[in-house]
Chains A and B, each alone.
Chain A
Amino acid sequence: MNPLIPLFVAVPLAGAFLTMIFGKFVKNLNRYIGLIVLLFLAIISYYSIVTVSGTVSVYKVGGWEPINGIPIGIYMVMDSLTAILLCIINTIGLLAVFYSFTYISQYTSENYFYALFCLMVAGMNGVVLSGDLFNIYVFLEISAISSYALVAFGVEREQLEATFKYQVLGGLASLLILLGIGFIYWKAKTLNLADIKVALGSAPEKIHYLLVQMLLLSGFGLKAAIIPFHAWLPDAHSSAPSPISAMLSGVLIKAAGIYVILRLFFNMFIISEEVAILITTLGALSMAVGVFLAIGQWDIKRLLAYHSISQMGYVVMSVGVGMILVARNTKPEVASLAIAGGLFHLINHAAFKSLLFLNAGAIEYRIGTRNLQEMGGLSQFMPATSSTSFVASMAISGIPPFNGFFSKLIIIIAAIMAKFYLLALIAVIVSIITLASFMKFQRYAFYNKEVQKDEKSPKEVPFPMVASMVTLGILCLLLSLLVLPQVRDIVLKPAIDILMNSQMYISPILGM
Chain B
Amino acid sequence: MVVYLLCFILFLVGLYGVVTRRNLVKIVISLSIMEFSVFLFLALIGYVHDGVVPIVDPANPDARYVDPLPQAMVLTAIVIGLATTAMLMSVIIRIYRKYKTLDIREIKNLRG
Contact = CB atoms under 8 A, between A and B. Distances in A.
Interface of A: 134, 137-138, 141, 145, 148-149, 152, 155-158, 160-165, 167-168, 171-172, 174-175, 178-179, 181-182, 185-186, 189, 191, 234-235, 239, 296-297, 302
Given A138-B80, A141-B84, A167-B84, A160 B38 contact: no
A interface secondary structure, majority: helix
A185 B45 contact: yes
Contacts of A191: 69
Contacts of B41: 179, 182
Contacts of B10: none
Given A161-B110, A167-B84, A175 B34 contact: yes
Interface in B74-96: 76-77, 80, 83-84, 87-88, 91-92, 94-95
Nearest to A140: B80
B27 A168 contact: yes
Contacts of B69: 185, 191
A156 B98 contact: yes
A182 B44 CA distance: 10
A348 to B, nearest CB: 28
Given A168-B27, A182-B45, A186-B45, A160 B87 contact: no
B90 to A, nearest CB: 9
Contacts of A178: 38, 42, 77
B91 A152 contact: yes
Interface centre among B11, B41, B67 (most CB of A within 10 A): B41
B38 A164 contact: no
Interface residues of B, number: 33
Q: Is the interface of B mostly helix, strand, loop or mixed?
A: helix
Contact of B70 (A141, A160, A185): A185
Contacts of A138: 76, 80
Nearest to B93: A160
B92 A157 contact: no
B73 A134 contact: yes
B31 A182 contact: no
Contacts of A239: 110
Given A178-B42, A235-B110, A164 B88 contact: yes
B87 A164 contact: no
A161 B45 CA distance: 37
Given A145-B83, A162-B110, A297-B112, A155 B94 contact: yes
B39 to A, nearest CB: 8
B31 A164 contact: no
A62 to B, nearest CB: 14
Nearest to A239: B110
Contact of B42 (A162, A163, A168, A182): A182
Given A172-B18, A178-B38, 19 more contacts: A152-B91, A157-B98, A157-B109, A160-B91, A160-B98, A161-B108, A163-B91, A164-B88, A164-B95, A164-B107, A172-B31, A172-B34, A175-B34, A179-B41, A182-B41, A182-B45, A185-B45, A185-B69, A186-B45
Contact of B31 (A148, A160, A171, A181): A171
A35 to B, nearest CB: 27
Nearest to B85: A171
B38 A167 contact: no
Contacts of A235: 110
Contacts of B98: 156-157, 160
21 contacts: A145-B80, A148-B84, A155-B94, A156-B98, A157-B99, A157-B109, A160-B91, A162-B110, A163-B91, A165-B110, A167-B84, A167-B87, A171-B31, A171-B88, A172-B34, A174-B80, A182-B45, A182-B70, A185-B42, A185-B73, A189-B67
Contact of A164 (B18, B24, B35): B24
Contact of B95 (A148, A161, A174, A175): A161
A145 B84 contact: yes
B33 to A, nearest CB: 11
Nearest 9 pairs of A and B residues by beta carbon: A141-B80, A235-B110, A160-B95, A182-B42, A186-B45, A157-B98, A178-B38, A158-B109, A171-B31
Contacts of B34: 172, 175
Contacts of B110: 158, 161-162, 165, 234-235, 239
A235 to B, nearest CB: 5
Nearest to A190: B69
B94 A160 contact: yes
B21 to A, nearest CB: 11
A168 B95 contact: no
A231 to B, nearest CB: 10
Most buried by B among A178, A186, A235, A296: A178
Contacts of A149: 87
A131 to B, nearest CB: 16
Contact of A179 (B38, B87, B88): B38
